[in-house]
Structure 1
């Protein structure tokens, strides 16, 4: 995706001109994830107490398309993965509407249909027996306000509802119905991010941010509040463009977990993500070499919840 520092600088129109525009990127990637919860392939059905690691190569298509209209090019509908999200390591499909006010404020409302979709274990704690999967469903809704009142401040808010087709956490551990209720993962999820832009010089921008997430789960042991901080930097050096993001999150849960000696869970999570772009490859102005890599490490006071993952990718991006 394009990492052009210019797009994060002075307030600009939503599009260069009215009509369709966008970009398509095709990436060859390799990813690895160590998790007792997220790896749901057949080979991980039986949990034996050992960390479960899954690595794979994949083709990763990314991109977006938007249609801009209005006398000031101030209306826009969009679909895809936004360049701003990809630059900081968020790979989420979204579709929505964006409007730019005369003072430079950009307001958007979007739906993210896949970010809460997936497959999870019905009873993830079952040990030395085959676990079965169930579908996790949910749609997230997002509102962003950038350059608030023409300022350097922005706000990103989201809400989603997570629903499992079959929640059986704790069933195989001989827990009572009351104890199993504490493990219910069905939840309303609220997310907020407040950031500001700090121009260092013509080629360097910094974006410090504060993050808060509330997972209002049905089960008290699954309810959590997450507090975090993030800093992103966008650097342009000649024809080389970089985006680097570091994030820290502290996740605190409300209730004791009956599976793990009634310990109340707490996690610390670190993330780092680096994206790179070299535009004009093969002497084509609208073709770029793109690459990115990221690592994520989450450590918990309950070892079962420890997770690590990383991804690396290289590809081509075509802008139209």
Structure 2
């Protein structure tokens, strides 16, 4: 499950960021979001039985969810130019999993920063051992992944930022294709693997409190199975503005994923077109409460594949409170 709407939350957070790392000592924030989520996918583990033909879209599932986020930071150094941090990453990076991040960043020059971090698996995600089972209950298994990340923000004070991550993914009990009648090469369906994610972003001021941010993303994932290995290329555009206590972020993304070899189950090489749009709003000092903020989010994303089995869609509407300290 890819949390497209989190990009909006991360973007609106950046409208409040400054080049300096902040005052010395401990700081941070905690957020709790409540919302409605609707998800349609053949990898939705809330729907164990697929009664439709195999090469068809998954069933839609919806419900109310709670989503906590938070980060703790400690700033130090002779000029308050170093910082260590830990907590939940606000952005969908590398694996698409929401991960706990532990990192160190420091100022480079007047208003640039470099950061190094690790994203270990804290809570494992779930998927199907064999996602191609039909007319009977599928069996769940855990997935995990770790990432190493490097960020260079506002390179040479030019508004350009770079993000690079190396990650791995492991499916605990991989059985993809075991249920398919007849001889197929199940080795090509193995989902374990390693990847490299990169993103370059350019921040362009469009006013005293407004910014336009185009970005380019490239993701290479090398799976143990060649039919699961892919190159993904994405472009995005985000508009950020802050008007008094009100902060807004509107963003959109398009990506194309091209897989290495033909999927032996469906007899063709997978190609995905992915699109997502997000809106995020924050009202600072909500109810005149110092350090409190009201957040509202809306996001929608789709994956349109040439193999119907891999089509996905996701909708999220949420509201919550955040506290900064």
Give the TM-score normalised by structure 2.
Answer: 0.89
1:71 Cα offset (Å): 1.3
Alignment match of 1:100 (pick from 103, 107, 117): 107
Q: What is the alpha-carbon distance in structure 2 between the residues aligned to residue 199 and residue 162 of structure 1?
A: 38
Instruction: Name the CA distance, whole Å, in 1 between partners of 2:307 and 2:35.
Output: 31
Q: Give the deviation of 1:92 after TM superposition.
A: 4.3
Alignment partners' CA distance in 2, 1:274 and 1:211: 20
- Report deviation, 1:285: 2.6
Q: CA–CA distance in 2 between the matches of 1:90 and 1:267?
A: 19
The answer as to whether partners of 2:15 and 2:241 remain within 8 angstroms in 1 is no
Q: How many residues align?
A: 309
2:168 to 161, 171, 183: 161
C-alpha distance in structure 2 between counterparts of 1:6 and 1:131, whole Å:
44
Does the CA-based 8 Å contact 1:36-1:304 persist in structure 2?
yes
Q: Pick from 38, 41, 47 the counterpart of residue 35 of structure 1.
A: 41
| Residue 176 (structure 1) shift | 3.5
Q: Are the counterparts in 2 of residues 116 and 136 from structure 1 also a CA contact under 8 Å?
A: no
CA displacement 1:207-259 (0-9 Å, x = unmatched): 10000011101111111000110111111123211011101010001101111
Report what 1:137 is aligned to: 144
Root-mean-square deviation (CA), in Å? Answer: 2.1
Question: Runs of at least 4 residues of structure 1 off by over 4 A?
Answer: 89-92
The CA distance in 2 between the partners of 1:154 and 1:115, in whole Å, is 28
1:54 matched to which residue of 2?
61
- Confirm or deny: 8 A CA contact 2:19 2:112 kept in the other structure: no
Q: Name stretches of at least 5 consecutive residues in structure 2 with no aligned partner.
A: 1-8
Query: SS of the counterpart of 2:189?
Result: coil
How far does residue 175 in structure 1 lie from its aligned partner after superposition? 4.8
TM, length-normalised to structure 1: 0.90
For 1:261-311, what per-residue CA distance to the aligned partner results, in whole angstroms no more than 9, with x for missing partners? x11110000011111011122212311111111111111000000000111
Per the alignment, do residues 122 and 175 of structure 1 end up closer, same or farther by CA in structure 2, a change over 3 Å counting? farther
Structure 1: any 5+ residue segments left out of the alignment?
none
Q: Could you say which residue in structure 2 is the equivalent of 1:13?
A: 20
**Counterpart selection for 2:309 from 288, 292, 304:** 304
Give the conservation status (yes or no) of the 8 Å contact 2:194–2:222. yes
Paired residues of 1:5 and 1:241 also in contact (CA < 8 A): no
Q: How does 1:172-183 map to 2 (within 5 A)?
A: 172-176=179-183, 179-183=185-189
